[in-house]
Chains A and B, each alone.
Chain A
Amino acid sequence: DSGVTQTPKHLITATGQRVTLRCSPRSGDLSVYWYQQSLDQGLQFLIQYYNGEERAKGNILERFSAQQFPDLHSELNLSSLELGDSALYFCASSVASTAQNEQFFGPGTRLTVL
C-alpha cells in the first residue's frame, strides 16, 4: 500500500458526460501528479500540482482540468468524454516538487466510456 488513495476504483459512463476523479496524497506529500494509462499509448503524464499550484503540464487535453485543494487532495475533471478517454487514471504524490523525488502511485481509477 503506497499511502495514496484514489476514488472511485471503477467508473462507467457515456460519451459526452463529465466525471471527477479524486486523489488523496500520502500524508506529508505536497506534490500530486496525474497520469493516464491506455492500451494504445502507455503511461502519459497529464499534470502536476504542488501545494495548491499548478507546477507542470504534460499531455492534458483542454477537456480535462485538475485542481489541488488546501487539504492537498486533488481532483481530475474529465468533460465531454469520448470513447478514447477510456483508460486507467493514476494519481501519484511526492514530498517535493522536483522530478528527483520518488513518486508513490495510487491504485488507479479505471474509466470506461461507452
Chain B
Amino acid sequence: GESVGLHLPTLSVQEGDNSIINCAYSNSASDYFIWYKQESGKGPQFIIDIRSNMDKRQGQRVTVLLNKTVKHLSLQIAATQPGDSAVYFCAEIQPPTSYDKVIFGPGTSLSVIP
C-alpha cells in the first residue's frame, strides 16, 4: 500500500522577523527537553535545551519557553535568517533521565523568505 508521510506544519517568515515554533509534549513526567534543527540532507543539530525546573532559557538568537501546565514548549528565533530554514523538532525525555523513553515531535518546517 501507499505509505503516508508525516505532514509537517510549515511556517514561512520574512527575513529579519522573529519566528515562533511550537511543540506539544505528551508526558507530564518529562523533565528535560531539547530543540533540534535539521537542514535538508543533514543530521539533526542540537540548538538549545531546558530542564523542567525552568520556564525560560536563552541562547544566541534563540529562546525556549516551557509551559508545564499545558505541556507546551516553544522555540523563538530572533531576526530570522535564510540559514535558519530547516525542520525544527523537539524531544522530551522522561525521568530518571534515561534515554530509553525519549520522544521526538514530528517537526515544523521553517521557510525564510529573503
Contacts and interface: CB of A to CB of B under 8 A. Distances in A.
Interface of A: 2, 4, 33, 39-45, 48, 55-58, 90, 92, 98-100, 102-108
A105 B98 contact: no
Interface size on B, as a range, is 20 to 34
B53 interface: no
Given A55-B99, A56-B99, A102 B46 contact: yes
Interface of B: 3-6, 32, 41-46, 49, 51, 89, 93, 97-102, 104-107
B104 A103 contact: no
Contact of A99 (B4, B6, B102): B102
B4 A40 contact: yes
Q: Which secondary structure dominates where chain B touches chain A?
A: loop
Contact of A39 (B3, B42, B49, B100): B3
Closest 10 CB pairs of A and B: A105-B43, A39-B5, A56-B99, A56-B100, A43-B104, A99-B93, A99-B99, A102-B46, A45-B102, A42-B106
18 contacts: A39-B5, A39-B6, A40-B3, A40-B4, A42-B6, A42-B106, A44-B104, A45-B99, A48-B100, A55-B99, A56-B98, A100-B51, A103-B46, A104-B46, A105-B42, A105-B43, A106-B43, A107-B42
